[in-house]
Every structure is written in structure tokens, then in C-alpha cells.
């Protein structure tokens, strides 16, 4: 039972799917790399893979060819893999990782959710990253929303007011809700002027928020060191470019002025909606 001093978490008797997809929803590859990190540290076991032939345009998401341990050439196809893990003291976890599909989104979501139901998933947390006007010198903002009234009351969340183009995580969340699965939507803001992956500071911010939601300690591994190196690289970029340096100072001033939790939450939510509208107009691409 929760006390006043405890944050609500997803219970150990629940099964939680975490879903992230490379592409439109994944600025700086922050979300997909956060889930890759969890798969490694939790020693997740592969459960199923969706046939990429049904969902991907291979001229958009090309397969890769490598040599295996035996020296034979191996072709790896883009797709979505489901794996399972059970962190100590936490809920059963299903990780859904892949690339945003090129086609048949409704069929894709239906197949993914069929697997979720077979595994007893009660809650889905979709994980994404977006480019926003935030400085790399400050903690990167994360926010969680939900359309589920019980989840909003339980975790103290708001619902998103966004209307406009969406990515696969938005469609997956909508289809899951129609099946009666609770959905939480988790995002992190990535500084737009250093959008090239990787973004370890953003991945670490997502994992920290997931740690709160799931109620288990997540080992960040090398991410803190990688985040420091990433920040030093961003500092050097600003030192070499006065225009970027001025922009960073302006962003720092705005963020410091809106440092109250309610103000910063409203600001990042508004920035998120503006970002998605720009993407819908073709104003930004990744």
C-alpha cells in the first residue's frame, strides 16, 4: 500500500510492456537505446519477432550484412522484436523494440497487441524522444501523460491536449486503449542543435523516469560517463560557434525562469505539441 512518502509505482503483480521504435518518435535514438540498455542489463530473452516483410519498405529501412562468428555472411532484417525480463522486485516486463513500420500500421499494432495479450500485459508504456528548445547544460525534461482516468489519478498525470499527426507509438497507444490496456506515454526532450545520435543524457533521463514508474532500481551502467562526454562535446560545439553559444544562453535563461515543476511541465508539453505540428507540416525531419 502506498504511503504519503512513497511514489505510486506499477505493481510487481502486473505485466508491463515498454515499447520504443527508431525513427519519427526517437530523436537522437534516445528511446530505442534506453530500451536496448534495459534488454542488456535485465538479460531479456527473445520471445517473438514480427515478420519485417509485412511492414517495412526495405528501400527505406535497409537490411544490413555482416560476417558471423564462423565467417559466414549474415543478413539482418529490420523489424520488431519482443523480449521478456523480470527485474527483481518489479513487474514482469515485455520489451517491444524495432523500427517504425513503413506500412500496415493497424495490422502491425494488432499483431503486437495480440502478443501483449498472450503475455498478460496490463499496462503499456510507450517511450519516445523529440527535438525541443532545451539547453544541454540543464537536466533534460521528461513528461508522462495518459488517456486513462485511473492512471492519471494513480500517478498524478495529465492527459495530452495534442491534436495532429502522430507516430507509431501514438497509434499503438490508441489501439491498446481500445482493448482495455492501460497506456502511459513517456517522452524526453532532446536539444535540437545536437540531435545526432547517440543521446546518452536523454536515454538516462528516460531510464530514471522508468525507474520511478516501475519501482525498481535501474543500473545505468556506462550512461553517466557517456552523458558527461556527450555534454563536453556539446560544450565544445558551443565554444566554437558563437551563434549556438548565444542560443544556449537564451535557452538557459528561459528554463531557469520556468524552473517550477508546474511551469516546466506546461512548457515542455506545449513545446511537444508545437514540435508534432511542425513535423506534420514537413518542417522538421529525422
Tell me the C-alpha distance between 74 and 275, whole Å: 39
CA distance 56 to 62: 9
Quote the pTM value: 0.85
The residue whose grid cell reads 538479460 is: 43
Q: pLDDT in tens for each of the 286 residues of the chain?
A: 344 456 788 877 899 999 999 999 999 999 999 999 999 999 999 999 999 999 999 988 898 999 988 889 999 888 899 999 999 888 999 999 999 999 999 999 999 999 999 999 999 999 999 999 899 999 999 999 999 999 999 999 999 888 888 999 999 999 999 999 999 999 999 999 988 899 999 999 999 999 999 999 999 999 999 999 999 999 998 888 888 888 888 888 888 877 644 444 555 555 555 555 545 554 433 3
For the chain, the straight-line distance linking the first and the last C-alpha, in angstroms and rounded, comes to: 44
Query: What's residue 8's pLDDT?
Result: 80
3-state helix, strand, coil in the chain (%, to 5): 45, 20, 35
Could you tell me the strand order of the sheet in which 80-85 lies? 45-50, 80-85, 92-99, 15-22, 123-132, 182-191, 142-145
Domain boundaries, the chain: 15-63+72-280
The DSSP output letter for 216 is S
Class of CATH domain 15-63+72-280:
alpha beta
Strands (E) across 110-246 are located at 123-132, 142-145, 182-191
Amino acid at each position: 500500500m502506498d504511503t504519503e512518502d512513497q511514489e505510486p509505482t506499477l505493481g510487481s503483480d502486473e505485466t508491463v510492456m515498454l515499447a520504443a521504435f527508431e525513427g519519427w518518435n526517437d530523436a537522437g535514438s534516445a528511446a530505442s537505446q534506453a530500451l536496448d540498455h534495459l534488454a542488456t542489463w535485465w538479460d531479456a530473452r527473445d520471445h517473438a519477432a514480427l515478420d519485417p516483410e509485412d511492414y517495412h519498405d526495405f528501400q527505406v529501412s535497409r537490411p544490413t550484412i555482416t560476417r558471423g562468428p564462423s565467417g559466414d555472411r549474415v543478413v539482418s532484417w529490420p523489424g520488431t522484436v519482443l523480449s521478456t525480463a523480470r527485474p527483481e522486485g518489479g513487474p514482469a516486463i515485455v520489451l517491444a523494440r524495432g523500427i517504425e513500420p513503413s506500412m500496415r500500421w493497424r495490422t502491425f499494432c494488432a499483431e503486437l497487441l495480440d502478443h501483449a495479450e498472450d503475455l498478460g500485459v496490463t499496462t503499456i508504456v510507450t517511450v519516445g524522444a523529440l527535438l525541443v528548445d532545451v539547453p544541454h547544460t540543464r537536466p533534460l525534461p521528461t513528461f508522462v501523460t495518459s488517456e486513462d482516468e485511473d492512471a492519471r489519478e494513480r500517478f498524478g498525470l495529465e492527459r495530452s491536449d495534442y491534436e495532429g499527426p502522430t507516430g507509431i507509438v501514438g497509434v499503438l497507444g490508441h489501439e491498446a486503449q481500445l482493448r482495455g490496456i492501460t497506456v502511459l506515454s513517456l517522452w524526453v526532450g532532446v536539444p535540437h542543435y545536437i540531435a545526432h545520435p547517440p543521446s546518452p543524457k536523454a536515454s538516462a533521463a528516460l531510464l530514471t523516469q522508468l525507474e520511478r514508474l516501475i519501482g525498481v532500481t535501474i543500473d545505468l551502467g556506462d550512461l553517466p560517463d557517456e552523458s558527461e562526454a556527450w555534454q563536453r562535446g556539446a560544450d565544445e560545439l558551443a565554444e566554437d560557434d558563437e551563434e549556438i553559444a548565444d542560443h544556449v544562453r537564451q535557452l538557459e535563461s528561459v528554463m531557469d525562469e520556468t524552473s517550477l515543476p508546474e511551469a516546466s511541465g506546461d512548457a515542455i508539453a506545449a513545446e511537444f505539441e508545437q514540435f508534432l505540428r511542425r513535423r506534420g507540416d514537413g518542417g522538421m525531419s529525422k
